C-alpha cells in the first residue's frame, strides 16, 4: 500500500526573493525585499499590521503576484505567470481562518487533494490521511465535522491537510491569531515538531515565544521592508534598528 505522493522529486529547494515590490493601486505594500530561505530553515516574520508580512507570505505561496522583482520558490519562478502554477500542491499554507471545508469531515478535508489531484485510491488516501492526522494528534477525530471541533483542533486538521501532499515548504499566516489563548499551545507544539523534523517553514506570527524557541531566523518587518533580521537571540536580545526596539518594547508592555 503506497502512502507516498508523486510529489518529492519535481521541484528544487529553498526560497530566493530579490528586489520584490508589491503595489495595491497606489499603496506600496512591499518595497524592494530581498530574502533567502534555506531548505529546512524556520523563518519567522514579525511586525505590526500593515508592515507587509502577510503580503510577502502570500506572494511566496502563489496567492498573490509581485509587482516587480524575482520570486523563486522550490526552483519555480513565481514571477513568471506561465510557470507560477507549477508551485501548486508543492507548498502548504495554514490560514488564520483555518479555511477547512465545512461540508467534509476531518479525514475528508485531508484526503481531498490526495484523491482529486494525485488520483490516489480511497484506501490509499485514507491510510495516508490517518497517518498525517495522527502526526498532529487528531486521528481519533477523523470523522468529526469541522463545526464539531474546537479552534485549535480545526487548525491542527488544517496543518494535517497541508502535510498530506508532502510539501517542501509550509507557510503559516498568523495561524494562531484567531484562537483563544488556551488553544494556541496545541498548535504551536505541532508546528514545533514539524520544525524539529526538518520542514522548511515561513511563519507570520504574533507569538513571540514561538519565535524565540523555534525560529532559526527572525525577520522584523516595518513599512514594507525587512528592517532587521537575525537569530532569535540576536533580534530579541540585542535589537539594533530603532523600529525593532520600539516594536519589541510595545510587545513587552502588553
List contacts with another protein (CB under 8 A). 61-63, 88-93, 95, 97, 99-103, 112-113, 116-118, 158, 161-162, 165
- Please give the helix or strand (H or E) that residue 65 lies within, else none: none
- Secondary structure letter of residue 233 according to DSSP: I
CB closer to another protein out of 94 and 227: 94
Cβ–Cβ < 8 Å for 169, 202: yes
Q: How far is the CB of 112 from another protein (least distance, A)?
A: 6
CB closer to another protein out of 16 and 99: 99
- Rounded Cα gap, residues 209 and 9, in angstroms: 35
Q: How far is the CB of 63 from another protein (least distance, A)?
A: 6
CB closer to another protein out of 83 and 250: 83
Task: Find, among 231, 187, 235, 188, the residue nearest to 209 by Cα.
Answer: 188
Q: How far is the CB of 71 from another protein (least distance, A)?
A: 16
Residue 163 grid cell: 502535510
CB closer to another protein out of 202 and 211: 202
The interaxial angle of helices 151-164 and 181-196, nearest 10 deg, is 20
Q: How far is the CB of 208 from another protein (least distance, A)?
A: 26
- Secondary structure letter of residue 11 according to DSSP: S
- Rounded Cα gap, residues 144 and 122, in angstroms: 18
Q: How far is the CB of 84 from another protein (least distance, A)?
A: 11
CB closer to another protein out of 22 and 90: 90
Amino acid at each position: 500500500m503506497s502512502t507516498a505522493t508523486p510529489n518529492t522529486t519535481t521541484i528544487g529547494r529553498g526560497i530566493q526573493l530579490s528586489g520584490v515590490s508589491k503595489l495595491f493601486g497606489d499603496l506600496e505594500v512591499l518595497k524592494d525585499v530581498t530574502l533567502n530561505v534555506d531548505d529546512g530553515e524556520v523563518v519567522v516574520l514579525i511586525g505590526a499590521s500593515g508592515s507587509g508580512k502577510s503580503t510577502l507570505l502570500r506572494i511566496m505561496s502563489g496567492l498573490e503576484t509581485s509587482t516587480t522583482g524575482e520570486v523563486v520558490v522550490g526552483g519555480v519562478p513565481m514571477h513568471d505567470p506561465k510557470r507560477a502554477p507549477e508551485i501548486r500542491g508543492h507548498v502548504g499554507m495554514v490560514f488564520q481562518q483555518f479555511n477547512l471545508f465545512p461540508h467534509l469531515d476531518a479525514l475528508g478535508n485531508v484526503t481531498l487533494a490526495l484523491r482529486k489531484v494525485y488520483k490516489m485510491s480511497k484506501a490509499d488516501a485514507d491510510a495516508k490521511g490517518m497517518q498525517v492526522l495522527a502526526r498532529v494528534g487528531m486521528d481519533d477525530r477523523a470523522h468529526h465535522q469541522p463545526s464539531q471541533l474546537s479552534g485549535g483542533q480545526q487548525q491542527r486538521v488544517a496543518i494535517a491537510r497541508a502535510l498530506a501532499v508532502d510539501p517542501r515548504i509550509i507557510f503559516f499566516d498568523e495561524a494562531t491569531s484567531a484562537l483563544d489563548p488556551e488553544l494556541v499551545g496545541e498548535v504551536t507544539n505541532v508546528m514545533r515538531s514539524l520544525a524539529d523534523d526538518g520542514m522548511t517553514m515561513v511563519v507570520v506570527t504574533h507569538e513571540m515565544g514561538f519565535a524565540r524557541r523555534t525560529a532559526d531566523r527572525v525577520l522584523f518587518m516595518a513599512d514594507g521592508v525587512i528592517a532587521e533580521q537575525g537569530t532569535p537571540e540576536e533580534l530579541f536580545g540585542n535589537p539594533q534598528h530603532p523600529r525593532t526596539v520600539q516594536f519589541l518594547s510595545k510587545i513587552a508592555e502588553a
